[in-house]
């Protein structure tokens, strides 16, 4: 027989019979449940479950949402996302009228090939060229246009959080700062946070990395040219503050912890200007620029600002640390930080 904790993880946050939309745990749980709904929609499709046999409905219906539209990948025909609409007119701005959710990788024969290719595109900073991303952008644009000022949320898990992050960045650049919940978002760089235990060593590696990146940035763009730039995408993005949920035992997302903490430490020791240059670029993009190679789009994981929530609880394995179910558990030891990019030059 399954334990009470296992039943809780499988069934979702069924104890939330009344939602306090000002409570971040409640909002986080709803967002995670709606992403789970996308996974379940795809599972229902693959297992040919319909009507009373389908298992997806409770994941949104429990929170008074209805399924407005499913996003279908044009390559493997899987359900990769969903648009949910709140059943009632939102009486307050903190209740979303629409939530657009994206699932992560599904390790099944008919989906894994396509999902892995998209993961590779994410690593190569080419996710924006995929048809799945183009579909996501189209749906988000349309939903925002139809919302007439009502609140629209984005949410996703793993690969789905990479999709939501890229969509959110693009929307922010044109002035739409959508509330965004990213569960286990991939940080596409060397996982220093989980790879080294010595804090002094980690600080030394990150400091050296920052100095090299800042130097390369000056060499590539030139100080005068950089200061004269009228458009700085990092500054443009800085008012947008997505919610990131990461686990230090998950190598896919754990480096976000060090990424933001290092920026804070560099400010504290008086060399914040170096880090403000370094944090805008990935090492790969800078080396590509030095070599005259077109490296494509900016690195996906680079973010000016964020609300970062860290699950400090110990989970048994990678699947638990990377799993979606941890984020509707109200009992994990939570550490939450707010990081705002300092635009001072």
Say what the pLDDT of residue 50 is.
93
Distances in Å between the Cα of 119 and the Cα atoms of 115, 157, 237, 267, 277 are 6, 13, 24, 33, 28
Q: How many CB atoms lie under 10 A from the CB of residue 134?
A: 12
Say what the pLDDT of residue 226 is.
46
Query: Is the per-residue pLDDT at 155 higher than 80?
Result: yes
The least confident of 21-25, 278-282, 320-324, 340-344 is 278-282
Summarised one tens digit per residue, pLDDT across range 51-85 is 999 999 999 999 999 999 999 999 999 999 999 99
Summarised one tens digit per residue, pLDDT across range 183-233 is 999 997 766 655 556 666 666 666 566 656 655 566 566 544 444 455 677
In angstroms, rounded to a whole number, what is the distance separating the alpha carbons of residues 71 and 80? 6
The least confident of 197-201, 242-246, 304-308 is 197-201
Edge-to-edge strand list for the sheet holding 306-311: 65-72, 79-86, 98-102, 152-157, 179-183, 243-246, 306-311, 334-339
Summarised one tens digit per residue, pLDDT across range 80-106 is 999 999 998 766 668 999 999 999 999
Query: Is the per-residue pLDDT at 336 higher than 70?
Result: yes
How many residues belong to the chain?
345
Model confidence at 171, pLDDT cuts 50, 70, 90, reads very high
């Amino acid at each position: 027989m399954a334990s009470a904790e296992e039943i809780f993880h499988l069934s979702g946050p069924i104890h939330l019979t009344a939602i306090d939309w000002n409570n971040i745990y409640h909002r986080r749980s709803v967002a995670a449940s709606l992403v789970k709904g996308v996974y379940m929609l795809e599972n229902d499709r693959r297992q040919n479950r319909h009507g009373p046999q389908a298992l997806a409905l409770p994941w949104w219906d429990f929170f008074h949402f209805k399924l407005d539209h499913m996003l279908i990948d044009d390559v493997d025909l899987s359900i990769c996302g969903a648009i949910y609409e709140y059943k009632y007119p939102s009486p307050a701005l903190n209740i979303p009228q629409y939530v657009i959710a994206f699932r992560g990788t599904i390790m099944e024969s008919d989906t894994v090939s396509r999902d892995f290719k998209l993961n590779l595109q994410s690593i190569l900073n080419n996710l924006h060229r995929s048809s799945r991303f183009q579909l996501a952008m189209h749906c988000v644009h349309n939903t925002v246009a139809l919302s007439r000022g009502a609140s629209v949320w984005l949410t996703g898990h793993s690969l789905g959080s990479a999709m939501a992050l890229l969509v959110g960045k693009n929307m922010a650049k044109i002035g739409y700062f959508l509330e965004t919940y990213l569960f286990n978002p991939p940080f596409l760089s060397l996982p220093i946070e989980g790879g080294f235990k010595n804090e002094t060593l980690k600080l030394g590696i990150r400091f050296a990395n920052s100095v090299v990146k800042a130097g390369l940035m000056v060499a590539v763009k030139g100080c005068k040219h950089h200061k004269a730039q009228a458009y700085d995408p990092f500054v443009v993005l800085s008012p947008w503050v997505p919610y990131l949920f990461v686990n230090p035992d998950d190598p896919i997302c754990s480096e976000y912890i060090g990424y933001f903490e290092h920026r804070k430490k560099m400010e504290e020791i008086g060399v914040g200007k170096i880090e403000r240059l370094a944090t805008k670029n990935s090492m790969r993009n800078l080396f590509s620029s030095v070599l005259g190679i077109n490296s494509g789009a900016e690195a996906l994981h680079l973010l000016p600002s964020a609300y970062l929530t860290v699950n400090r609880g110990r989970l048994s394995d990678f699947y638990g640390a990377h799993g979606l179910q941890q984020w509707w558990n109200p009992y994990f030891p939570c550490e939450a930080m707010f990081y705002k990019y300092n635009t001072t030059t």
